[in-house]
């Protein structure tokens, strides 16, 4: 495995690019997040097409060309120290064949996002760069905790997280060290068989999901199994499973880990022996604690659960 490159820490006064690589956003949806960045001592720099609207079967934040332009600017502008996405949605896959890392490779920077941004994070990891799977600038309808944002700023400034969790009856016990990969399950699934798919061999896979029917969740899991993913990984972490099945309005943190979704996952992996953690606080949920994609972690699943970077 190639050595993973971790971007250098950001300093007070550094510039953070704010871009919309997928779905469209409106200015008022980012006001709180942009103010937070300023209050933390950093300077948000807005991408040219941050608030662009382009409707083409989905409300994108600009045409593919416009979104590619903003992302390549953020990657390669030497004045930018980190990149924070406004939201996910749909559209990041459009960009994959057009991304440029020429100057980025000389000056790597943290990329922050989750959901649809999973495909950009897989692309970065293919090029040996770590990224942050964490809350976007736009807070969703269920909100996000201040602590979740604080953890992101800690990572940006060089402090790696440690998480201590209660056990779950569905957990499979064990201890394992390995590189963390993954993100939103639908995007992990969508990349299978492509040059941009994660390398699953001897990795610890993280998955989370929102708004999928139970049969669709099962279909994605079956695809992973048929692709040999569960034979290759050595650990699995399951995050938020929200608005699943009948898509009822599960907006409370306590309802963010859908029991039947977790049961389906548990049944699909029961013949495998890797340590498995259910209910990690990351995903389309209130308590969205960041993970570092590409980092080596220690996963301890026992009476007490630890995820240590």
Could you read off the pLDDT of 132-154 as tens digits, one per residue? 999 999 977 677 999 999 999 99
Which three-class secondary structure state does DSSP give residue 221? helix
Q: How many CB atoms lie within 10 A of CB 168?
A: 18
- Those residues whose C-beta lies under 8 Å from the C-beta of residue 125, and which sit 6 or more positions away, are 4, 131, 181, 198, 293, 294
Query: Looking at the structure, do residues 212 and 196 belong to the same domain, yes or no?
Result: yes
Q: Look up the pTM and report it.
A: 0.96
Query: Looking at the structure, do residues 171 and 145 belong to the same domain, yes or no?
Result: no
Asked if residue 246 belongs to a domain, the reply is yes
Query: Looking at the structure, do residues 175 and 133 belong to the same domain, yes or no?
Result: no
d(CA 191, CA 212): 17
Query: Looking at the structure, do residues 143 and 172 belong to the same domain, yes or no?
Result: no
Asked if residue 213 belongs to a domain, the reply is yes
pLDDT digits (tens, 9 = 90+) for 25-83: 999 999 999 999 999 999 999 999 999 999 999 999 999 999 999 999 999 999 999 99
Query: Looking at the structure, do residues 23 and 138 belong to the same domain, yes or no?
Result: yes
Query: Looking at the structure, do residues 47 and 176 belong to the same domain, yes or no?
Result: no
Residue 242's closest CA among 225, 262, 270? 262
What Å distances lie between residue 99 and 8, 64, 88, 95, 135, CA to CA?
Answer: 21, 12, 17, 6, 22
Query: Looking at the structure, do residues 28 and 66 belong to the same domain, yes or no?
Result: yes
d(CA 184, CA 114): 7
Domain with 62, as residue range(s), is 15-156
Question: The CATH number of the domain where 93 resides is what?
Answer: 3.40.50.10740
Asked if residue 37 belongs to a domain, the reply is yes
**What is the enclosing helix (H) or strand (E) of 185?**
helix 185-190
d(CA 261, CA 274): 19
Q: How many CB atoms lie within 10 A of CB 261?
A: 21
Residue 74's closest CA among 129, 19, 22? 19
Query: Looking at the structure, do residues 111 and 166 belong to the same domain, yes or no?
Result: no
Query: Looking at the structure, do residues 168 and 301 belong to the same domain, yes or no?
Result: yes
Query: Looking at the structure, do residues 304 and 166 belong to the same domain, yes or no?
Result: yes
pLDDT by residue for the chain (309 residues), tens only, comes to 689 999 999 999 999 999 999 999 999 999 999 999 999 999 999 999 999 999 999 999 999 999 999 999 999 999 999 999 999 999 999 999 999 999 999 999 999 999 999 999 999 999 999 999 999 999 776 779 999 999 999 999 999 999 999 999 999 999 999 999 999 999 999 999 999 999 999 999 999 999 999 999 999 999 999 999 999 999 999 999 999 997 555 444 456 899 999 999 999 999 999 999 999 999 999 999 999 999 999 999 999 999 999
Question: What's the alpha-carbon Rg for the chain, to the nearest Å?
Answer: 18
What Å distances lie between residue 157 and 3, 11, 41, CA to CA?
Answer: 21, 7, 12
d(CA 285, CA 141): 9
Q: 119 and 16 in contact (C-beta within 8 Å)?
A: no
Asked if residue 171 belongs to a domain, the reply is yes
Query: Looking at the structure, do residues 223 and 191 belong to the same domain, yes or no?
Result: yes
Query: Looking at the structure, do residues 100 and 238 belong to the same domain, yes or no?
Result: no
Residue 166's closest CA among 281, 282, 251? 281
Q: 235 and 252 in contact (C-beta within 8 Å)?
A: no
How many domains does the chain divide into?
Answer: 2
């Amino acid at each position: 495995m190639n050595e993973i490159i971790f971007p250098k820490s950001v300093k007070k006064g550094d510039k953070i690019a704010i871009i919309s690589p997928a779905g469209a956003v409106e200015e008022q949806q980012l006001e709180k997040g942009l103010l937070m960045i300023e209050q933390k001592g950093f300077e948000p720099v807005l991408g040219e097409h941050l608030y662009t609207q382009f409707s083409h079967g989905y409300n994108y934040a600009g045409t593919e060309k416009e979104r590619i332009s903003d992302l390549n600017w953020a990657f390669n502008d030497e004045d930018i120290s980190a990149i924070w996405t406004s939201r996910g949605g749909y559209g990041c896959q459009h960009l994959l064949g057009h991304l440029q890392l020429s100057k980025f490779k000389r000056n790597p920077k943290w990329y922050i996002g989750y959901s649809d941004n999973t495909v950009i994070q897989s692309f970065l990891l293919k090029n040996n760069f770590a990224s942050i799977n964490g809350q976007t600038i736009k807070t969703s309808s269920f909100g996000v905790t201040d602590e979740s944002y604080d953890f992101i700023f800690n990572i940006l400034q060089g402090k790696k997280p440690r998480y201590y969790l209660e056990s779950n009856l569905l957990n499979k016990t064990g201890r394992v060290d390995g590189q963390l990969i993954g993100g939103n399950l639908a995007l992990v699934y969508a990349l299978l068989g492509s040059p941009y798919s994660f390398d699953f061999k001897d990795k610890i896979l993280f998955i989370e999901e929102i708004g999928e029917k139970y049969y669709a969740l099962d279909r994605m899991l079956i695809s992973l199994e048929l692709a040999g993913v569960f034979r290759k990984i050595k650990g699995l972490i399951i995050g938020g499973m929200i608005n699943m099945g009948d898509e009822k309005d599960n907006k409370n943190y306590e309802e963010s880990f859908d029991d039947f979704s977790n049961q389906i996952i548990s049944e699909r992996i029961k013949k495998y022996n890797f340590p498995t953690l259910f209910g990690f606080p990351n995903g389309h949920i209130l308590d969205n604690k960041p993970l570092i994609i590409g980092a080596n972690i220690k996963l301890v699943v026992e009476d007490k659960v630890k995820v240590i970077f």
